[in-house]
Structure 1
Amino acid sequence: MVVGAVLLLASVLLSVLLGLHRYGMPELWQAYRHFDGSNDHLILTTTRVPRALVALATGACLAVAGAIMQVVTKNPLASPSVLGINSGASLFVVVGLIAFGSSLTLGGMIWIAFAGAIAAAAFVYAIGARERGGFEPVRLTLAGAAIAAFASSVTSGLMLLHKQSLESALFWMIGSVADRKLEHLADVVPYMLAGLALAMLLSGSLNVMALGDDNAKSLGQRLLLSRAAAAVAVVLLAGSSVAIAGPIAFVGLVVPHLCRALVGNDHRWLLPYCAITGAILLVAADLASRFVLMPKEVPVGVATALIGVPFLIRVARRRKHE
């Protein structure tokens, strides 16, 4: 944990200092200690620092949400996108842009995306619920895939019909932490912190759920309550992350598997490790995305996909052989 914290601090500092314009620690110190309104100070305080903090918070939340989803759905390939959260948020943003046009600010887009993420998760859990209470993991996964496919299809259709008004949504829909401000992060931080706190409180219950439904019931686990609380945690974590950074894929898939290789399946340790590792991964991916096509930048969602797709294939093949 200490090594992870040091690596996270180092990655954040590198993200702030490196890029098209490079700075040193003295310039960063002066930007906050003796701000003079220069272009360099503005880049550091209004662009680089908020961007690094958004990547840190988003990566931590997506990774923890993915770890919870893999337990609840009993699917090692599960991630927040399984619930259709990414697709629901994207659909709501596109509808908002059609309705409000250029008057829709980034702050307003964040709240519309949050509403879309919540609505998608609510639909998935309503469909995945069993008749006598509780949730069936297979049905939940299939419901999430269906809602995601439906929302993506509608989004694509709307974008074809309204190309001119939706160009501003393309960069957000790929997944990006650029051009976010501290005010935007402050809007969703309470939901992120609430989701992380709830996830940590559920760590013991997640350990019991991982043993299977029959064993969990014999140990006195209240599955309906535990799964409902887990659903709330996922919605808070993934919904707030998608709202501020767009649908960034594969962080919630890759990080839990990496952390299980380090600390095993005890969620009391796994979730904190996921939070730190997810933050490091997304901050590092955002930093790397600046150098791929310099002076242009690649959205961080593309960088995480380049990492996540080979990992997804590896996990799927390993499960097949097992």
Structure 2
Amino acid sequence: MHSSPAGRQYAVGLAVLTLLAMASLAIGSRSVPVAQVVWALVDPDPGNDLHLLVRELRLPRMLLAIFAGAALGLAGAVMQAVTRNPLAEPGLLGVNAGAAIAVVLGASGFGLTQMAQYVWFGFLGAGLAGGAVFLLGRAHESGTNPVRLVLAGAGVSVLLGAAANLVILNSGLEVLDLFRNWGSGALDGRGWAVALTMGGALALGGALALILAPGLNAMALGHDAGRALGLRASRFWALACVSVMILAGAATAAAGPIGFVGLVAPHIARALAGPDNRRVLPLSALFAAAVLLGADIIGRVVAAPAEVAAGIVAAILGAPFFIHIVRRFRVARL
């Protein structure tokens, strides 16, 4: 029996992600032989410093990159599907900026410096900012004008970004030092608590997104067609916003405001799997996880022994793709 194209895509994606995961555990300021990486995972020796390096520092960092990347990929795929906008993604539509300002306010105003504390601010900020952009861009009415929605997202992002910078500059050195690293999208030093919290948010928001996949297919036909198929638009929009809020809010709280990952992955998934969101969503999660993990690895290599934050590398890689999408898609109401 021959495997289906979708099955081969998942298999290839998982193989690439597995190779990147092993590279993430082996590559860094101190290289770890692959054999030692394997032994650290299957039979750890507490007295071996290489095993401690792999298990206590690099393993949670690798899992965080996978979980945060998958969350951004799912959030981007949901946003693109529900708005029928090829340019939609959490970073471009203000969701990341909303989560960022909320986290900044939580840390500076309430002294919340642990993710388990400020993640709830990230959820709230992502939801409020995303709702504001959707309303300003009138996406709930048509969702088909990329320019209007992106301009609304850019305006909200600039406003919230300026507010975040104002708060940070007027905060103490402890808050400034925290956000100097977090704001660039660096993944190092987060630890197991952050990785596991991000994993829980991915499980919750991802499950909701996958449940919505058939409805996203109906929405792709247009709001009128969706209603004709029995889809309750207002309830569906609310659930989609909750899913994006959980996914993008948690990813931003955990890893910082990382852009373009949620834009690139859904386009790759649709190019390979077609328009069916039941296949696009899981593939988007898989590809986005690989993109962010790859960006983190590249950041360790290009400036070794120093590091470039994964968020910066992702922006450098994603910006040309964004320009390509803008040039390729006809910017007009469909």
Say yes or no: TM over 0.5: yes
Determine what percentage of the aligned residue pairs are the same residue: 37
Q: CA deviation at 1:16?
A: 0.6
Q: Provide structure 2 residue ranges, at least 5 long, that are not aligned to the other structure.
A: 1-9
Q: For residues 246 and 199 of structure 1, do their structure 2 counterparts lie closer, same or farther at Cα, with a shift above 3 Å needed?
A: same
| Partner residue in 1 for 2:158 | 149
For 1:42 and 1:311, locate their aligned partners in 2 and report how far apart those are by CA, in whole Å. Answer: 38
| Partner residue in 1 for 2:4 | none
Q: CA deviation at 1:184?
A: 1.4
The residue type paired with residue 200 of structure 1 is: L
Q: CA deviation at 1:298?
A: 0.2
For 1:4 and 1:158, locate their aligned partners in 2 and report how far apart those are by CA, in whole Å. Answer: 41
Q: For residues 228 and 140 of structure 1, do their structure 2 counterparts lie closer, same or farther at Cα, with a shift above 3 Å needed?
A: farther
| Partner residue in 2 for 1:71 | 81
| Secondary structure at the counterpart of residue 35 of structure 1 | coil
Q: CA deviation at 1:135?
A: 5.0
Q: CA deviation at 1:182?
A: 1.6
| Partner residue in 2 for 1:18 | 27
Q: Provide structure 1 residue ranges, at least 5 long, that are not aligned to the other structure.
A: none
| Partner residue in 1 for 2:7 | none
* TM-score relative to the length of structure 1: 0.89
Q: CA deviation at 1:268?
A: 1.1
Q: CA deviation at 1:317?
A: 1.0
Contact 1:19–1:291 (CA<8 Å) still a contact in 2?
yes
- CA displacement 1:239-296 (0-9 Å, x = unmatched): 1111111111000111111111111111111111111111111111111110111110
| Partner residue in 1 for 2:181 | 171
- CA displacement 1:23-50 (0-9 Å, x = unmatched): 1233224434242244322211111111
Computed over aligned residues only, the root mean square deviation of the Cα atoms, in angstroms, reads: 2.5
| Partner residue in 2 for 1:190 | 200
Instruction: Tell me which moved more, 248-257 or 139-148.
Output: 139-148
Q: For residues 40 and 184 of structure 1, do their structure 2 counterparts lie closer, same or farther at Cα, with a shift above 3 Å needed?
A: same
| Partner residue in 2 for 1:108 | 117
Q: CA deviation at 1:183?
A: 1.5
Q: CA deviation at 1:213?
A: 1.5
Instruction: Tell me which moved more, 106-115 or 260-269.
Output: 106-115
Q: CA deviation at 1:107?
A: 4.3
> Does the alignment pair 1:216 with 2:226?
yes
| Partner residue in 1 for 2:15 | 6
For 2:117 and 2:225, locate their aligned partners in 1 and report how far apart those are by CA, in whole Å. Answer: 45
The residue type paired with residue 319 of structure 2 is: V
| Partner residue in 1 for 2:263 | 253
Instruction: Tell me which moved more, 296-305 or 34-43.
Output: 34-43
Contact 1:93–1:112 (CA<8 Å) still a contact in 2?
yes
For 1:107 and 1:214, locate their aligned partners in 2 and report how far apart those are by CA, in whole Å. Answer: 41
| Partner residue in 2 for 1:180 | 190
* TM-score relative to the length of structure 2: 0.86
For 1:293 and 1:100, locate their aligned partners in 2 and report how far apart those are by CA, in whole Å. Answer: 36
